[in-house]
Amino acid sequence: MWTPETIRNDFPILDQTVNGRQLIYLDNAATTQMPAPVLEAMTSYMLHDHSNVHRGIHALSERATGLMEKSREYVYSFLGAKGTEEIIFTSGATAAINLVARSMSFGLLEAGDEIITTEMEHHANLIPWQEACRRTGAVLHVVPVTKEGELDYGKLEALISRRTKLVAVTAVSNVTGTVNELDRIIRLAHDAGAWVLVDGSQAVRHGMLDMSAMDCDFFCFSGHKMMGPTGTGVLYGKREVLEQLPPETFGGGMVDQVFTDHATYGDLPFRLEAGTPNIMGIIGLGAAVKYLTDLGRDEIVNTEDRLLSLAEKELRARPQIDILGSPVKRAGCISFNIKGCHCYDTAKLLDQLGVAMRSGHHCAEPLLTAFGETGAVRLSPAFYNTEDEILEAMKALDRVIRLIERTVRK
Q: Which residues bind ligand PMP (CB under 6 A)?
A: 92-94, 122, 124-125, 170, 174, 199, 201-202, 222, 363
Q: Across the chain, how many H-helices and E-strands are there? A: 14, 17
Reported as type and span, the H/E element at residue 258 is strand 255-258
Nearer of residues 117 and 346 to ligand PMP, judged by Cβ: 117
Nearer of residues 93 and 393 to ligand PMP, judged by Cβ: 93
Cβ 66 to ligand PMP, closest distance in Å? Answer: 27
Please say whether the beta carbons of 175 and 323 come within 8 A.
no
* Cα–Cα distances in angstroms (integers) from residue 136 to residues 104, 108, 318, in the given order: 9, 9, 49
Cβ 208 to ligand PMP, closest distance in Å? Answer: 12
Three-state DSSP class for residue 377: strand
**How far apart are alpha carbons 201 and 172 in whole angstroms?**
8
Cα atoms found within 13 Å of the Cα of residue 410, Cβ hemisphere only: 6
Please say whether the beta carbons of 122 and 364 come within 8 A.
yes
Cβ 96 to ligand PMP, closest distance in Å? Answer: 8
**How far apart are alpha carbons 196 and 188 in whole angstroms?**
10
Find, among 180, 177, 183, 192, the residue nearest to 115 by Cα: 192
Nearer of residues 65 and 236 to ligand PMP, judged by Cβ: 236
Nearer of residues 130 and 320 to ligand PMP, judged by Cβ: 130
Three-state DSSP class for residue 317: coil
Cis? peptide before 269, omega within 30° of 0: yes
Nearer of residues 176 and 385 to ligand PMP, judged by Cβ: 176
Q: What residue type is assigned to position 54 of the chain?
A: H
Q: What residue type is assigned to position 5 of the chain?
A: E
**How far apart are alpha carbons 362 and 358 in whole angstroms?**
8
Please say whether the beta carbons of 162 and 193 come within 8 A.
yes
Cβ 363 to ligand PMP, closest distance in Å? Answer: 6
Cβ 284 to ligand PMP, closest distance in Å? Answer: 14
Cβ 191 to ligand PMP, closest distance in Å? Answer: 26
Nearer of residues 93 and 192 to ligand PMP, judged by Cβ: 93
Active-site pick, 133, 220, 341, 363: 363
Cβ 168 to ligand PMP, closest distance in Å? Answer: 11
Known catalytic membership, residue 343: no
Residues in CB range of 113: below 8 A, 6 or more apart = 136, 138, 139, 163, 164, 165
Nearer of residues 91 and 105 to ligand PMP, judged by Cβ: 91
Please say whether the beta carbons of 221 and 90 come within 8 A.
no
Q: Which residues are catalytic?
A: 363
